[in-house]
Structure 1
Amino acid sequence: MFDWLIVGAGFAGSVLAERLARGSGKRVLLLDKRRHIGGNAYDHYDDEGLLVPKYGPHIFHTSSKEVFEYLSHFTTWRPYQHRVLASVDGQLVPIPINLDTINRLYNLRLTSFELEAFFAARAEKAPRVRTSEDVIVGKVGRELYEKFFRNYTRKQWGLDPSELDASVTAHIPVRTSRDDRYFTDTFQAMPLRGYTRMFERMLDHPKIKVMLGVDFHEVKESIPHAQVIYTGPIDAYFEDCYGKLPYRSLEFRFETKNTQVFQPAPVVNHPNEHPYTRVTECKYLTGQEHPKTTLVYEYPRAEGEPYYPIPRPENAELYRKYEALAAATPGVHFVGRLATYRYSNMDQVVAQALELYAKLTGLPRERTPLAA
C-alpha cells in the first residue's frame, strides 16, 4: 500500500515525491509514461559524449531563495547568465532589444536617454491592450515588431500575434541600457552535472519507488494507494470528456559539428524565413570541454508532445471546465504545467509543488523543512 501515487517524474512530481518521502516519511510510488525521469528537463550524453537536452534547452533562473536553496540540496551549480542573439537584417543582434541592438541595427550612436525617445516616437498605443501585437507595437513600434516578433510568433504558435492573448509577449522586456542578459533574476545557474543527475539525487530515497514506461490509466486500478498527485495533462485525466486542450509542440533536431564552438552565443533566434525558431549550442549551457559541439534546432509543430498551452479565450474557458471537475475529484491533487494548463518556468513549478506540500502537511511554508 502506497500513501501516495504520483503521476509524472518531472519537477512537480519529483519535488513532491522527495518531500513526502524524506520530509514526511510517506511511501511514494512515482510513475512516468516515458522511460526516464526529469520530464522535459531530462538530459543525457549523446554518441559523441556531449551532454545534450533531449527536449531542448532549460535555463534555470529564479528570484526565489526558497526554490534555489531547495534545489541546492541535490546539485552543485555552475554560474551561468543566458545571452541570446537574433538574426535580423543579416546581423546578429542582442535580444531582448537593448541599446546595442538599436545602435547596430540602424548604425546609430544613441544614448540610453535618446533610446527612450526613439521608442516613444515609434510606439503605437492601443486604446485597449488585448493581443500580443498590441503589447509589442505599444512598446517599440511596428517596424521592430515586424523585424523581431511577428514572424517568430507565427512560427512558434501557428497564429499571428494579433490572434494571441497579450500574456504571450507581456513579459518580454525592452531595455534602454546595454544589459544583454536574457534574464535578470537573482539566481541564475545550471546544474553542474546536468538536470538528470539532480533528479536522480532528489529521488534517491528508500521510501520512493519509481516505475518508468508505465501509463497511469492502465495501472491505477491495480496499485493500492491512498491519494494521487497528478502532473499530466488535465484533459487526459478526465479522458478528454470536454474535448482536448490545444497545445503547440516542438520537434528537436540535433547536429554535431567537428569544431569546439560554432555560433557566437548560446542561442540564436531566427525571426526570419528559416522553418526553425532558434538554435542552441549545448556546450555554452553545460560548460563541458569537448573538441566537438552539438546544436539543437527547434521546429514548432501543431502535433506532438504538449509543450505550450495556447493562450486564447476559448481555451481558457475549456480549461475552466476541467478545473471544476478537478476540484470535485476527491483524493486527487493536480499540480504542474500540464495539470493547470499554464506555461510555467521551472522555478514556478518547484514553488507550486512546495506550496502543495505545505498545504498537505498543514505547515506554513516558512515552517516546512526543505530537506532532512
Structure 2
Amino acid sequence: MKYDFVIVGAGFAGAVCAERLATNGQRVLVIDKRNHIGGNAFDCMDEHGVLIHPYGPHIFHTGSKRIFEYLSRFTDWRFYEHRVQAHIDGNLYPIPINRTTINKLYHLDLNEQETADYLASVREPRERLTSSEDVVLSSVGRDLCNRFFRGYTLKQWGLDLSELSAGVAARIPTRTNDDDRYFTDAFQFMPAQGYTAMFEKILEHPNIEVRLSTDFHVLRSIIEYDHVVYTGPIDAYFDYRFGKLPYRSLSFQHIHLSGVERFQSSGTVNYPNDQEYTRITEFKHLTGQQHAGTSIVKEYPRSEGEPYYPIPRPENEALFQRYNELAEATANVTFVGRLAQYRYYNMDQVVGAALKAVEALL
C-alpha cells in the first residue's frame, strides 16, 4: 500500500499531525519504535491498579482556547491545578516562590506590598539577562536563589545556573500574593480517562494505520510514501552528521505504597538541596483516582539515556541550526516536535506546533 504520509512518532506531535491529515483525506501511516502510543505522555495502570505516568508526570495546561477545544474532541477533562512544594531543611515551601514561601522561610508576616518591597530589597539587578543565574538573582536575590534554584538546576541539568540560557529560569515566576498554583493558565485539566485513552481516540480515524515497535530507518526502504512527518531527534535523522545534540535524560523509580492512601500533601515535591533525585510525584493527586494504596515516582536526571530535554546553551542552539539548515533543504520531510525542533516545549506547545505544521502542509 502507498501512503500519502508516514509519521514517525506517536506522541503529541505525531498523533495530532496524523489526525489532521487523515481528516483532510490523506492516507497516513504512524510508526513508533516503542510498543505503545502516546510518547512520553503515555499512561497505564501499574500492577497494583494505580494509573501512573511511566515517563514522569505530565500535567496539561494551556492558555490557548484553540488548543484546548481541539483536544476536547478526544477526551473529557478533570479540573486539576498542579501544586508543587520544595523540601528545604525538613520543611515544605510553595514553589514558585510566593508570599507564603517568604513568610514561612524567614519567620515574617509580610503583606503583599511588603513582600514586593522585600523582594526589591534583595534583588541583584542585571543590565543584561544572559544566563539563568542572571534571571534568578535579578528576581529573588542570592539567598532564595541558592536555597531553591541552584542545587535543583545542577541536578536537573548537570550545569550551574550561570551556564544555562536565561530562558530556562524565565519559565518560573515569582509572586507577591499567596497563589500557590504551579501554573496560572486559563485551562488546567487532566484527561479524565488518561492520556492513552485520548491518544487512542485521536488515532482511531479510518485513514490512519498505526505500527508499533517499528524502526523508521528499516521501514523507509520497503514502503511507498509521498511525505514524512518526523518527530524524533533531528540529529538522528541525519545520522549525527555534525555530532550529537546534547540532551538531558531521566531515570524513574516507581514505588507503590500499599495501605497508604496519601503519601504527600501536593502533587509534586521538589528536593533542591538533598537526595539524588530532583522530585517525587504522587499520581493520585493528578488523576483523582480512589485507591487504598498510592504510587509515586522519583526522578533522577542523567547525562545518558533517552533524550528528554534539549539543553539550552548557545553552542547547542548553533549546532541545532546546522541540522535545521539540512532539514529545510530536505524535500518531502517535515520536522515537528520537541526533539525534531530541539525546543523545550510544553505539551500544548507541541500540539500548537503540530497544528501549524499541518496547516502549512495542506
Query: Structure 2: 5+ residue runs without aligned partners?
Result: none
SS of aligned partner of 2:87? strand
SS of aligned partner of 1:69? helix
What does residue 281 of structure 2 align with? Answer: 280
What does residue 170 of structure 1 align with? Answer: 170
Residues 270-327 of structure 1: CA distance to partner in whole angstroms, max 9, x if unpaired? 0012000000000000110000000010000000110010111110110000000000
Q: Distance in 1 between matches of 2:353 and 2:262?
A: 37
Count, aligned residues: 360
Q: Distance in 1 between matches of 2:170 and 2:261?
A: 37
What does residue 27 of structure 2 align with? Answer: 27
Residue 236 of structure 1 and its aligned partner are, at CA, apart by 0.3
What does residue 60 of structure 1 align with? Answer: 60
Q: Distance in 2 between matches of 1:97 and 1:9?
A: 36
Residues 33-80 of structure 1: CA distance to partner in whole angstroms, max 9, x if unpaired? 001000000000000000000100000000111100010000000000
What does residue 127 of structure 1 align with? Answer: 127
Residues 162-209 of structure 1: CA distance to partner in whole angstroms, max 9, x if unpaired? 111111101210000000000000100000010000000110121111
1:152 aligns with 2:152: yes
How is 1:1-372 mapped onto 2 (pairs within 5 angstroms)? Answer: 1-22=2-23, 24-258=24-258, 259-361=260-362
SS of aligned partner of 1:141? helix
Residue 126 of structure 1 and its aligned partner are, at CA, apart by 2.0
Q: Distance in 2 between matches of 1:205 and 1:117?
A: 56
Q: Distance in 2 between matches of 1:313 and 1:189?
A: 34
SS of aligned partner of 1:260? coil
Q: Distance in 1 between matches of 2:265 and 2:314?
A: 39
SS of aligned partner of 2:69? helix
Q: Distance in 1 between matches of 2:170 and 2:78?
A: 30
Q: Distance in 2 between matches of 1:187 and 1:205?
A: 26
Residues 128-154 of structure 1: CA distance to partner in whole angstroms, max 9, x if unpaired? 211111100111100000000000000
Residues 214-267 of structure 1: CA distance to partner in whole angstroms, max 9, x if unpaired? 110111011110111000000000000000000000001011112110111110
Residue 5 of structure 1 and its aligned partner are, at CA, apart by 0.5
Q: Distance in 1 between matches of 2:6 and 2:358?
A: 14
Q: Distance in 1 between matches of 2:333 and 2:171?
A: 32
Q: Distance in 2 between matches of 1:170 and 1:97?
A: 13
- Letter paired with 1:93: Y
SS of aligned partner of 1:314? helix
SS of aligned partner of 2:165? coil
Residue 127 of structure 1 and its aligned partner are, at CA, apart by 2.9
Residue 160 of structure 1 and its aligned partner are, at CA, apart by 0.6
SS of aligned partner of 1:340? coil
Q: Distance in 2 between matches of 1:151 and 1:42?
A: 29
Q: Distance in 1 between matches of 2:230 and 2:286?
A: 31
Residue 89 of structure 1 and its aligned partner are, at CA, apart by 2.4
Residue 356 of structure 1 and its aligned partner are, at CA, apart by 1.2
SS of aligned partner of 1:93? strand
Q: Distance in 2 between matches of 1:19 and 1:99?
A: 44
Q: Distance in 2 between matches of 1:172 and 1:326?
A: 32
SS of aligned partner of 2:339? helix
Q: Distance in 2 between matches of 1:233 and 1:277?
A: 25
> TM-score, length-normalised on structure 2?
0.99
- Letter paired with 2:194: G
Query: Structure 1: 5+ residue runs without aligned partners?
Result: 362-372
Residue 107 of structure 1 and its aligned partner are, at CA, apart by 1.0
> TM-score, length-normalised on structure 1?
0.96
Identity of aligned residues (%): 59
